[in-house]
Amino acid sequence: MEKQYTDEFLIQNWEGFTSHIVTVNGIQLHYAEGGKGFPVICLPGWPQTFYSFHTIAPELAKHFRVIAVDLRGMGSSSTPLSGYDKKTMAADIAKLIRHLGIQSVFVLGHDIGGMVAMSLAYNYPQLVSRLIVADGLHPNEGILQMPLIPPAGTFGDKIDTDQPYTWWMGFNQVKDLPEKLLEGRYYYLLDWLFRYVMTDDRKISELEKQIYAEAYNRPENIRASNAWYQSFHQDIEDSKRYTPLQMPVLGIASNVSYGFYQYALPAAAEHFELVHLKDTGHYMFEENPEAVLQAVEEFLLKP
């Protein structure tokens, strides 16, 4: 089926950006690139695509060479049957960096993209000069303590920031069924999700929701994106072999993730800073792009 929202359409207002597809690590990866200067790799999360950086990428491109990537299984990138553990996905990005002839990068990851960004920093530290993880740290055994049933009185129209209930972590473990339920209907899931986890879901437009719904309406994209979650056990095993990161790390935490970041980030990095966006939900690039951009630029523009 022909796309209504092509990659070229999506970057039409990103001044100076171009869209590319290259073959690396045995798959095709799509990315949008613009700007000049030290390169910044931007890795998005679920259920979004490279387009989630549209609020900050054109501004970042005034100082940096910005490369916003569709991860394996996302957007216009390939949806292979395997390789959704974060170590393999990090290898995709490492090979993209080398394909582009880049020696060292800054990396900004959100949600699943933050997990891949951390894996990239763990496994290819020579490539990552500075790392930013926004509401997305590498899976560890703590994720296994997430509740199956929400505590009484905590599951409403908006996520409880003290006792968040993220039922989709379980739903996305299910194989085959989500594709049957959600093919052509993904809008209903993401419309509910944005409303639930954002403090002010009016900050995400109907157009944005339609763009992401189109990207995930196909069975192969539903399967692939769920595989990011189905690979958590392998990610946990990989995490047991990692030692704390040595490069500077910035954590940007929403009102939901701040408590987790407070104890998890010190264990993950020797040199870190933590910014708390206390009135902002998980989809911070839409809800509070000014604060995100300020935190990112202050961290990356340091001497």
Q: pLDDT tens for residues 246-260?
A: 999 999 999 999 999
Say how far apart CA 184 and CA 175 lie, in whole Å. 17
Pairing of strands 105-110, 128-134: parallel
Mark the ranges of the chain whose per-residue pLDDT is less than 70. Answer: 1
Say how far apart CA 233 and CA 7 lie, in whole Å. 33
Which burial class, exposed, middle or buried, applies to 296 when counting CB atoms under 10 A from its CB (0-12, 13-18, 19+)?
A: buried
Per-residue pLDDT tens digits for 154-183: 999 999 999 999 999 999 999 999 999 999
Q: 114: which residues sit within 8 A by CB, 6+ positions away? A: 43, 45, 133, 134, 135, 136, 137
Where do we find the tokens 């000014």? 290
Q: pTM for the complete prediction? A: 0.98
Per-residue pLDDT tens digits for 33-70: 999 999 999 999 999 999 999 999 999 999 999 999 99
pLDDT of residue 3: 87
Supply the mean pLDDT for the chain.
Answer: 97
pLDDT of residue 185: 98
Say how far apart CA 39 and CA 80 lie, in whole Å. 27
- Work out whether the CA dihedral 31, 20, 57, 200 comes out positive or negative: negative
Q: Which architecture does CATH list for 18-300? A: 3-Layer(aba) Sandwich (3.40)
pLDDT of residue 303: 85
Classified as helix, coil or strand, 164 is coil
